[in-house]
Amino acid sequence: MPQKTFNNLPAERQQEILRVAYREFTLNDYQTASLSRIIKNLGLAKGSFYRYFRSKRELYFFLLERSTRERFEKVEERINDPELDLFELLLINWKDKIEYETSHPVESGFFYRVLRERYNEEVGDLEFRLKHEITLKVERLIRENYTESVRKDIDPFLLAFAIVQFQFALYDYLAIRYNDDLVQNLLQEKSLFTLHEEEVIKLITDFTSIVKNGISNN
């Protein structure tokens, strides 16, 4: 967590610091990301920065906690809509994510980059940790709100795992199928998604249909 001196900064300055930090960790993996570059780009003395965050690791995990929280805020709002079943929620949640990622490209690129961090001695296996934590959240969401929407013989954890795996794998699918890599797009100063939004919507609609109806033509 940041030091009190960071929380006491004006909101605009806080956002500037976070924006520069997000960009550094998005364009570089954790090991090669440079705290010195962040400090230089902010025009700060090194001692001043350490009054806000004690280490690169502390800054990194603050960005991760903030990014994860923001990505879940909308879905928590949607859960309270009694008109939505689980499958409608999945589709609308994906549309919300596309809207968020389009308006927050660097934060989204950071989250995608984090998912590539495996077996780093300083930050651990973040890919496994994130997928595990989010799968548990989705499982709890299904058990508490949508048990009537799914078959009783399907383990809610298995369903949650399948949903989370697809959500994360979608970025890899876009890169493999359409050469549409989020991080490379940011590096080249392109739009986050070069694929047309309607095509992305079609893709997530097809996935939601698979979850709901399976793949059998019977």
Domain ranges of the chain: 63-213
Position 21 scores a pLDDT of 94
Average pLDDT rounded to a whole number, residues 182-189: 71
pLDDT class for 189, splitting at 50, 70, 90? low
Is the pLDDT reported for residue 61 higher than 80? Answer: yes
Q: Is the pLDDT of residue 47 over 70?
A: yes
Q: Whole-model pTM?
A: 0.81
Average pLDDT over residues 127-131: 86
The per-residue pLDDT for 135 is 93
Among residues of the chain, what percentage have pLDDT more than 90?
19
Task: Specify the higher pLDDT residue, 73 or 158.
Answer: 158
Interval 118-127 mean pLDDT: 79
* Contact between residue 164 and residue 127 where contact means Cβ atoms under 8 Å apart: no
Over residues 33-59, the mean pLDDT reads 89
* pLDDT interval class at 24 (50, 70, 90): very high
Could you tell me the pLDDT band of residue 17, with boundaries at 50, 70 and 90?
very high
Task: Tell me the C-alpha distance between 25 and 53, whole Å.
Answer: 15
Q: What is the pLDDT of residue 157?
A: 95
Tell me how far apart the alpha carbons of residues 154 and 163 are, in angstroms, rounded to a whole number.
13
Q: Is the pLDDT of residue 53 over 80?
A: yes
Mean pLDDT on 179-193: 72
